Amino acid sequence: MRRPSLPAWAAAALAAQLWLAADAQAAASFDAATRVFRLDGGRVTYAFGVNEAGQLQTLHWGGRLADADPLGPAKSLPSHSSFDLSASITPQEFPAQGGGIFTEVALKIAYADGNRDTVLRYLSHRIERDALTVRLRDVALPLEVSLRYTIDPDTGVVGRSARIENLGSAPLRIDQAASAAYTLAPQDDYRLHHLSGRWAGEWSLQQRPVSEGATVLESRRGSTGQQNTPWFAIDRAGSGGEDNGPVWFGALAWSGSWRISIDKDPLGTVRVVGGFNPYDFAYRLGPGESLDTPVFYAGYSDAGMGGASRLLHRFERDHILPGDGKPRLRPVLYNSWEATEFAVDEAGQMALAEKAARIGVERFVVDDGWFGARNSDKAGLGDWTVNRAKFPDGLKPLIDKVHGLGMEFGLWVEPEMVNPDSDLYRAHPDWVLNFPGRPRTPARNQLVLNLARRDVRDHVLQVLDTLVSDNDIQFLKWDYNRNWSEPGWPQLAPEDQPKVYVEYVRNLYWILAELRRRHPRLEIESCSGGGGRIDLGIMALTDQVWPSDNTDPFDRLSMQDGFSHAYAPAAMMAWVTDSPNWVDRRETSLEYRFLSSMQGALGIGANLNHWQDADFATASRMVAAYKQVRATVQQGDLYRLISPANGSRRSATLSVSPDRRQAVLFAFLHSQSKGMQEPAIRLRGLDPGRRYRIARLGGGALPEAMPAEASGAYWMERGLAVPMRGDFQASGFVLEAK
Ligand code: DGJ
């Protein structure tokens, strides 16, 4: 698992600064007198102490404190009554099931002799500048837990994970293992934000009070899932909003079954515990063995939900996405799926490629249907050899053609799956997840290969390595179109089989990492029937993600808004497709579709064979305009000016480049009502003292009353009157500093 790290040059510069500034400035520190640990980064301080009972007790997670501020010593809370004991209500960094704890725990262990009690105490620690490891040990048994903490000096995002080690001579069983427990001090008005959805309906932003009782966000599916995403944010109803107030947020870097529970205890303390989902979970640790949890990242902003997502986006670009802190700008992509579905062939793809090149596309991607007996979703999955009826001379003529047109070539794969009607399944029916003698439940006519098996893992790597080595391929769209059923691993002892929840994902990460190591210029997209596998774990190994199969440009506005709360536009693909769109049969103009998709990484998925000259002209103009602003859109600061949620009449976003010299406004009128003129849209994030010239994105005259140039202060105070009338109207503007 990748941990937050700085690019080498920045790490060296930081180390030098810290050296000069003496130890008090170090990002991670320990005060031996009070036994308090502190992590300081950006505008955040995270602190916890060793209390008199030897527990690690949370002291502060919030705004940056002064160096000498008194934080400890930590003192456990007295028992509230004989029903709520001290151990249960004291906010602990890593509470284990034992000693009378009823609040949510991070660890639950069962021993062969029937003991299910674990009580952890501080043992020792190690500090390395912006990282800290604290060892805990059970009061009686040779069980150790090492808690690893990092803090990003720039954003203050904390990363936490745990290693659980069996130092005894008998095996034990881990029934529950979280990465971290984060605690918020009691307040009456905490409000939880999270994202929910379903296939073709991902990224709905939800909000609810944090009240007594637990809210559980989870996936039990073997992968991240569309239904919840492993992210949360908590603000305060009394003072919070998009632009102001404190926000505590977090995201779990894990692409398997996961759980984040948010729970308010009887005294009002809020615990957010996240890690492996305990549902159907068990992990047997033999003597000397250990289990590492994924990293659960957490951050704090005092600038509202907008400030929180800008911090998280920056952290993702700097420390999660491939590219060592400088993720490559996403090329404009064409994908043939919505145009052809399974009916791909050499001539058809070449014709589409020629048309795509005409409008400035930089990467041409052939989707499903190019391999095996894959003429529908009923057969062929698993047989990764080119279908010679469709590509008589293999992929080379098409790839050469695409390259000759000046584009990169990309290919769709779904390597973790198999159709029962395939040569692979006929040869290896035992390679899928299954319980012997039980039905194997198909979904989309396919079964899941058990990637946790070493032979399956090696086979998948070899297939992909051969594909990329034998063909000049720059990009893979890596799909995953179902969740698990019958998660058996019959080759292991029954008590070890649930390890599949961990080992499958580890092997998935291993394959991705190894493939990238062997092919350093290869880029990969994470797709799972849309946004079913998007999280900080997979994003560390893939360059972009496919948020949804729903490409309706109006639906996408609210989905992109939801997505942007957790994940960076730098990785968010958005295609321009046909109108009426297949999802809602909604008709929209080509310009509207472009402006909706230009808020992320632009792709085109329309059937170009149906386009007229005027469409090609519009598309060429919009693609060229996008290339002028994509660095700002993908890697700038995103301001959600007007939310599209809750039936709002209009919506708007603004992206501002890091140097504040360029800003890009996207504005949409969803449905005009009663002839109302919409109020001016006030911008944010500009330099008030600079002058900015404004132009329409994609060309065209400015609205009559709009000044061609004004100060940042003007655009932020007085705003832009964007004259849109009718339904599904869109306007884009670009502001350039003089
Ligand atoms: C689901 C993906 O989300 C689509 O974009 C497409 O690639 C299909 N799978 C192909 O089967």
Q: What pLDDT digit, counting tens, does each position of 64-122 carry?
A: 999 999 998 999 999 999 999 999 999 999 999 999 999 999 999 999 999 999 999 99
479 CA to centre of ligand 1 in angstroms? 7
556 CA to centre of ligand 1 in angstroms? 17
d(CA 210, CA 183): 13
d(CA 226, CA 196): 7
For residue 72, what pLDDT is reported? 87
Ligand 1 lined by 530 (C-beta under 6 Å): yes
- Check: CB of residue 285 under 8 Å from CB of residue 263: no
Nearest CA to ligand 1 atom 3: 529
Q: pLDDT tier at 676 (50, 70, 90 boundaries)?
A: confident
Q: What distances in angstroms separate CA 675 from CA 157, 669, 704, one per listed residue?
A: 46, 12, 19
Q: pLDDT tier at 17 (50, 70, 90 boundaries)?
A: very low
> Is 350 exposed, middle or buried, given 0-12, 13-18 or 19+ CB atoms closer than 10 A?
middle
Mapped onto helix, strand or coil, the DSSP state of residue 731 is strand
202 CA to centre of ligand 1 in angstroms? 15
Distance of CA 395 to the CA centre of its chain: 33
pLDDT for residue 22 is more than 60: no
For residue 677, what pLDDT is reported? 85
Ligand 1 lined by 549 (C-beta under 6 Å): yes
Ligand 1 lined by 636 (C-beta under 6 Å): no
Ligand 1 lined by 480 (C-beta under 6 Å): no
Put the strands of the sheet holding 56-63 in their side by side order: 28-31, 36-41, 44-50, 56-63
- Check: CB of residue 558 under 8 Å from CB of residue 644: yes
Q: pLDDT tier at 715 (50, 70, 90 boundaries)?
A: very high
d(CA 300, CA 309): 10
**What is the percent of the chain where pLDDT is above 70?**
96
Q: What distances in angstroms separate CA 478 from CA 131, 183, 541, 546, one per listed residue?
A: 33, 37, 11, 10
For residue 16, what pLDDT is reported? 32
Across the range 222-248, mean pLDDT stands at: 96
Residue positions annotated with a catalytic role: 479, 549
pLDDT for residue 452 is more than 60: yes
Atom of ligand 1 nearest to the CA of 528: 3
Ligand 1 lined by 527 (C-beta under 6 Å): yes
- With a CB cutoff of 8 Å and minimum separation 6, the contacts of 33 are none
For residue 26, what pLDDT is reported? 52
For residue 645, what pLDDT is reported? 87
Ligand 1 lined by 635 (C-beta under 6 Å): no
412 CA to centre of ligand 1 in angstroms? 8
Ligand 1 lined by 529 (C-beta under 6 Å): yes
> Is 687 exposed, middle or buried, given 0-12, 13-18 or 19+ CB atoms closer than 10 A?
middle
- With a CB cutoff of 8 Å and minimum separation 6, the contacts of 268 are 186, 187, 188
- Check: CB of residue 28 under 8 Å from CB of residue 44: no
Give which of 614, 615, 608, 548 is closest to 584, Cα–Cα: 548
- Check: CB of residue 411 under 8 Å from CB of residue 448: no
Span 381-411, pLDDT tens digits? 999 999 999 999 999 999 999 999 999 999 9
Span 488-519, pLDDT tens digits? 999 999 999 999 999 999 999 999 999 999 99
Ligand 1 lined by 202 (C-beta under 6 Å): no
Nearest CA to ligand 1 atom 11: 368
Ligand 1 lined by 316 (C-beta under 6 Å): no
d(CA 385, CA 391): 11
pLDDT for residue 2 is more than 70: no
632 CA to centre of ligand 1 in angstroms? 29
Atom of ligand 1 nearest to the CA of 412: 7
Nearest CA to ligand 1 atom 9: 529
* DSSP-derived secondary structure letter, 156: -
d(CA 111, CA 99): 16
Burial 311-336 (b: 16+ CB within 10 A, else e): bbbbbbbbbbbbeeeebebbbbbbbb
pLDDT for residue 1 is more than 50: no
| Cross-strand pairs, 235 | 191, 247
For residue 18, what pLDDT is reported? 35
Number of separate helices (H) and strands (E) present in the chain: 14, 36
Give which of 211, 199, 204 is closest to 231, Cα–Cα: 204
d(CA 305, CA 107): 31
Give which of 254, 166, 269 is closest to 212, Cα–Cα: 269
Q: pLDDT tier at 10 (50, 70, 90 boundaries)?
A: very low
**What's the token pair of residue 208?**
């609810």
For residue 13, what pLDDT is reported? 35
d(CA 725, CA 732): 15
Span 23-32, pLDDT tens digits? 334 599 999 9
Ligand 1 lined by 368 (C-beta under 6 Å): yes
Span 326-350, pLDDT tens digits? 999 999 999 999 999 999 999 999 9
Give which of 161, 127, 135 is closest to 298, Cα–Cα: 161
d(CA 251, CA 233): 9
Mapped onto helix, strand or coil, the DSSP state of residue 583 is coil
Query: Best of 337, 377, 482 to mutate for ligand 1, by most ligand atoms within 8 A of CB?
Result: 337
d(CA 496, CA 346): 47
Beta strands in 398-458 (DSSP E): 408-413, 417-418, 447-448
Give which of 332, 400, 407, 344 is closest to 371, Cα–Cα: 344
Q: pLDDT tier at 9 (50, 70, 90 boundaries)?
A: very low
Give which of 223, 159, 177, 224 is closest to 196, Cα–Cα: 224
Q: At what angle do helices 553-566 and 304-315 cross, to 10 degrees?
A: 80
For residue 647, what pLDDT is reported? 83
pLDDT for residue 164 is more than 50: yes
d(CA 407, CA 363): 5
444 CA to centre of ligand 1 in angstroms? 11
Q: What distances in angstroms separate CA 563 from CA 547, 568, 580, 733, one per listed residue?
A: 8, 8, 24, 23
**What is the percent of the chain where pLDDT is above 90?**
94
255 CA to centre of ligand 1 in angstroms? 19
Distance of CA 470 to the CA centre of its chain: 31
Q: How many CA atoms lie within 13 A of 599 on its CB side?
A: 32
| Cross-strand pairs, 528 | 531
Atom of ligand 1 nearest to the CA of 367: 7
What string of DSSP letters covers 516-573?
A: HHHSTT-EEEE-BTBBSS-SHHHHTT-SEE--BS---HHHHHHHHHHHHHHS-GGGBE
pLDDT for residue 4 is more than 70: no
Across the range 640-660, mean pLDDT stands at: 95
d(CA 84, CA 267): 9
For residue 550, what pLDDT is reported? 98
d(CA 385, CA 366): 14
pLDDT for residue 720 is more than 60: yes
For residue 20, what pLDDT is reported? 33
Ligand 1 lined by 414 (C-beta under 6 Å): no
Greater model confidence, 674 or 5: 674
- With a CB cutoff of 8 Å and minimum separation 6, the contacts of 70 are none
> Is 614 exposed, middle or buried, given 0-12, 13-18 or 19+ CB atoms closer than 10 A?
exposed
Cis peptide before 580 (omega within 30 of 0): yes
527 CA to centre of ligand 1 in angstroms? 8
d(CA 735, CA 661): 8
CA torsion, points 508, 511, 513, 516, in degrees to nearest 10?
-130
AA identity, residue 404:
G
Span 607-641, pLDDT tens digits? 999 999 999 999 999 999 999 999 999 999 999 99
Span 536-561, pLDDT tens digits? 999 999 999 999 999 999 999 999 99
| Cross-strand pairs, 213 | 264
d(CA 128, CA 150): 9
- Check: CB of residue 398 under 8 Å from CB of residue 346: yes
* DSSP-derived secondary structure letter, 608: G
**What's the token pair of residue 439?**
């039905």
Mapped onto helix, strand or coil, the DSSP state of residue 235 is strand
Span 422-450, pLDDT tens digits? 999 999 999 999 999 999 999 999 999 99
Specify the pTM. 0.96
* DSSP-derived secondary structure letter, 600: S
Span 263-322, pLDDT tens digits? 999 999 999 999 999 999 999 999 999 999 999 999 999 999 999 999 999 999 999 999
| Cross-strand pairs, 107 | 96, 177
